Structure 1
């Protein structure tokens, strides 16, 4: 089974009607959606028919109950702690579809002492970077990753946020990666440049560097550290892109479900591109 550990929060997606004017009003369309990188990956994987488990923490509030129930209704095996206040992310999306996120992770960052049965049957554990930056959640993620690896499973990581990586410290994060020893590492171009990927990836890690509408570069294990060019895998063009929120999470779901089913990374990247394309024309990670 594929499992994803991390955030399940509410996204408040804002499409301003024009340039935001400080000190006064700017007309906008506002959408409330399920959010959280980990939850988005889990939901997209379930939509592909994969058995998937979500691991995390939501608040002991109506928002947390609704979000957890909604995710379970999509076919995800939801395992959550309930305490504190459910997190929220305000997402500002410009006319070109680029998004700026203002996160308050709330209860999601407070995951601690996870149930020892959570990783049972998990053969691939996926960790978005948000799961690895703040304690106590980062400690819980490392502990569950160790259990999965000790049982013969694998770990994957998505670098996910250049801003969060800068705040955490790139060198410190690379040390974290070395300890985790992921089989797969996903990053966009900005994140890869910040971390010096692919050359700084742990040995044995397949590194995928995404680049928006341009080809992703796949650096296979054993090659990533040699400084050789990656293998390009181009996405199909998408017309009418309006909101890139959750596109990276959808890509991760397509990629992970493919490699989990035995596909090689090149085939998996093509599936990732196809999944990402489905969320680009509507508000939020669901794309509708």
Structure 2
């Protein structure tokens, strides 16, 4: 089974009608959606028909109950702690589809003393970097990753976002990555440039660098060269929110079926293409 550890939050997706004007009003369409990188990946994996488990923490509140019910309704095995207040992310999306996120992770960042039974039977544990940048959640992620590896499973990591990585510290993140020894590392072009990928990746790690509508680059360990995997053409992009998570879902679901990384990246592109038309991670 594939498990994904990290955030389950409410996304408040804002489509302004035009440029946001400071100090006054800008008409907008506003959508409330299930969000959180880890939850998006889990939902998309379930949508592909693969068994998947979500691990995290939500608030003991109506929002947390609604979000976990929505995720379970998509076929995800949901394992959560319920304390604190459920997090939220305001997502501003420009007319070209580019999104800017203002996150308050809330309870998601406070996952602690996670039950080791959560990863029983897990062959691959996926960790978006959001959950690796601050304790107590980061400590829980590391502990469960160690349990999965001890049981013969593997770990994958998504670099998630350049700004938090920069704030956390590149060297510090890379040192933590070496300790996790991921079998797969996903990053977009900005994150890869910041981290110095693929050269800085731990030995034995497959590195996948996404680059929007351009081909993804798949670096196999020990080769030093990239396999180019073309993206799926999308005529009109309205909202890129969740596209990276959908790519991760398609890629990881294929890996758990035994696909090679290049074929898995093609599946990642196909899954990502499905979420670019609607608000938030809709369709993921």
TM-score in same-fold range (> 0.5): yes
1:131-146 correspondence to structure 2 within 5 Å:
131-146=131-146
Q: TM-score, normalised by structure 1?
A: 0.98
1:140-155 correspondence to structure 2 within 5 Å:
140-155=140-155
The equivalent of 1:284 in structure 2 is 280
The equivalent of 2:237 in structure 1 is 241
Residue 11 of structure 1 aligns to a residue whose secondary structure is: strand
Q: Are 1:62 and 2:62 counterparts? A: yes
The equivalent of 1:88 in structure 2 is 88
Deviations 1:43-73 (A, max 9, x none): 0000000000000000010000000011001
Deviations 1:213-244 (A, max 9, x none): 00000001222xxxx33111011210111000
Deviations 1:106-144 (A, max 9, x none): 000000001121010000000000110010000000000
Between the aligned partners of 1:54 and 1:24, the Cα distance in structure 2 is 41
Q: Are 1:264 and 2:263 counterparts? A: no
Asked if the contact 2:10/2:32 (under 8 Å) is kept, the reply is: yes
Q: TM-score, normalised by structure 2?
A: 0.99
Superposition RMSD in Å? 0.8
The equivalent of 2:203 in structure 1 is 203
Asked if the contact 2:12/2:32 (under 8 Å) is kept, the reply is: yes
Asked if the contact 2:246/2:275 (under 8 Å) is kept, the reply is: yes
Residue 216 of structure 1 aligns to a residue whose secondary structure is: strand
- The structure 1 segments of at least 4 consecutive aligned residues displaced by more than 2 Å after TM superposition are none
Deviations 1:163-190 (A, max 9, x none): 1100100110000100000000000000
Residue 272 of structure 1 aligns to a residue whose secondary structure is: helix
1:117-128 correspondence to structure 2 within 5 Å:
117-128=117-128
Q: Are 1:183 and 2:183 counterparts? A: yes
Asked if the contact 1:205/1:222 (under 8 Å) is kept, the reply is: no
Q: How many pairs are equivalent?
A: 284
* Structure 2 gaps, min length 5: none
1:8-157 correspondence to structure 2 within 5 Å:
8-157=8-157
Residue 193 of structure 1 aligns to a residue whose secondary structure is: helix
Deviations 1:87-115 (A, max 9, x none): 00000000110000000000000000011
* Structure 1 gaps, min length 5: none
